[in-house]
Amino acid sequence: MRTPIIAGNWKMHKNVGEALETARQLEESVQGSPVEVVICAPFTSLSALNALGLSKVRLGAQNMYFADQGAFTGEISAAMLLDVGCEYVILGHSERRAIFKEDDELINKKVIQALKMGLKPILCVGETLEERRAGQTEDVVISQTTKGLAGVGADELPKVVIAYEPVWAIGTGETCDAADANQVIGKIRETIAELYTPELAQKVRIQYGGSVKPSNITEIMEQSEIDGALVGGASLNAEDFVAIVKY
Ligand code: PEP
């Protein structure tokens, strides 16, 4: 049985005070939930969030660089994230791929480094609208999953969370049909089974992401292959995020 995991991606939102306020509300309201709850906050709030000593809500970052340390102006290392209490790091988000031109090779280096340092990657994969219309959805997610996991050992694999996020559904209000998402996620699991073993593939948690909100989370979580959600916009509001966690 895989523990469901619901993570909020706050993107470039919230100053420190706002982050603390939302996290406090969340921590109070999701106590006792069987869901693993994660907030991926901007770097600037992580230290203060860590100082809150949250017990139920776990901390994640939205990106990191693959080197241990050095002359990489503007970058953040895995060790720095661990130092401020992070357990998770989102890697390969479609906004990083599209706006910051991150490719599969770079994302894979980050996945390897995160695992080496003891962080759990949330590896994002997903097709654009153009790719979906061209019937390439499965090819895209198979390729991104395979390249993203290259060199990840079988012992490390269960620490990886995959987030299937169709790019056209992110921040658009347009959700992928839950049954469709389930099918694509099933394909991702099949890919992992071929790369490793069917038993190991059953241990990997795969989330759906893309305009998840309180009104559609139940149907998403009812799907057999979907183990949770990566939530952008709706995670900014504590009430909405709590409703999602309590689907
Ligand atoms: C995301 O940023 O990963 C995301 C899924 O955003 P939204 O929920 O706003 O579509």
Cα(162) to ligand 1 centroid in Å equals 14
Can 165 be counted among the known catalytic residues? Answer: yes
- Above pLDDT 90, what percent of the chain? 98
Cα–Cα separations (whole angstroms), residue 90 to 17, 24, 75, 81, 160 = 23, 22, 15, 12, 10
What is the residue-averaged pLDDT of the chain? Answer: 97
What would the mean pLDDT of 38-46 be, rounded to a whole number?
98
Q: Take residue 194 and report the two structure tokens written for it.
A: 């071929």
| Total domain count, the chain | 1
Can 13 be counted among the known catalytic residues? Answer: no
- Specify the pTM: 0.98
Whether residue 136 is predicted with pLDDT greater than 90 in this model: the reply is yes
Distance CA 14, CA 18 (A): 5
Atom of ligand 1 nearest to the CA of 170: 10
Which range of residues forms the domain containing residue 84? 5-245
Which residue is catalytic, options 36, 93, 95, 127? 93
Instruction: Report the CATH number that the domain containing residue 229 is assigned in CATH.
Output: 3.20.20.70
N-term to C-term CA, the chain? 18
What does the pLDDT look like over 197-232, one tens digit per residue?
A: 999 999 999 999 999 999 999 999 999 999 999 999
Cα–Cα separations (whole angstroms), residue 244 to 45, 119, 133, 239 = 23, 25, 30, 9
Cα(125) to ligand 1 centroid in Å equals 13
- Above pLDDT 70, what percent of the chain? 100
Is the CB of 170 within 6 Å of ligand 1? yes
Is the CB of 233 within 6 Å of ligand 1? yes
